Amino acid sequence: MAAILTLATTSCAITTSASTNKTLGFHALQKPLLSFPNSSPKTHHCNLFSSSSTINKPNNPTNLSSLTTRKLLCKPPNGKHVREDYLVKKYSAEEIQELVRGDRSVPVILDFYATWCGPCILMAQELEMLAVEYEKDALFIKVDTDDEHEFARDMQVRGLPTLLFISPDPSKDAIRTEGLIPKQMIRDIITNEM
């Protein structure tokens, strides 16, 4: 069986011809057809703008339905997530103060960000990757400076993104960085300074 793909302006057709066993070359696809003369009952029309543009046959190698499923690699911790599958959680000022005052065995990394800040979005992607890497060895928290502007002012946040590294050891001072910094620098601070 040979399949011919015929393109129109808004739809596609896959025609199956049972009369020939030859595979037609590229020359059959060079000229798009706008009408479908002698269309057989085996012709399948589909919209190019729809989410599934393939025929749902079990042996169809171009079927994308198996590629659209997401696989969760690790279960996110409980808490208020920015999205349910994000590991970096968004906390309020009160929740952060309770967390910092309490006993903890891992460092806390506060990310002061804004939704309109381009470098903050890039930093958020790096922090997500680091949160997977340091899943049980560090706690990454986001603070939206538009929602928590008084807390950001009290913490003297002047530029975005600002990271604040708080050690579990109360005798160590917190470390502050401003601006977009590389992942390796964040790793070095967590490993060597906390």
Q: Are 155 and 108 in contact (CB under 8 A)?
A: no
C-alpha to C-alpha distance for 103 and 80, rounded to whole angstroms: 20
Looking up tokens 């599934």 gives 52
C-alpha to C-alpha distance for 134 and 128, rounded to whole angstroms: 10
C-alpha to C-alpha distance for 74 and 133, rounded to whole angstroms: 11
Q: Are 140 and 111 in contact (CB under 8 A)?
A: yes
| Amino acid making up residue 119 | P
| Of 12, 46, 74, 120, catalytic | 120
Q: Kindly calculate the radius of gyration of the chain based on its CA atoms and give it in whole angstroms.
A: 27
Q: Does 117 qualify as catalytic in the annotation?
A: yes
Residues with Cβ within 8 Å of residue 17, at least 6 apart in sequence:
1, 2, 4
Q: How do 89-90 and 44-47 pair as beta strands?
A: unpaired
Active site residues: 117, 120
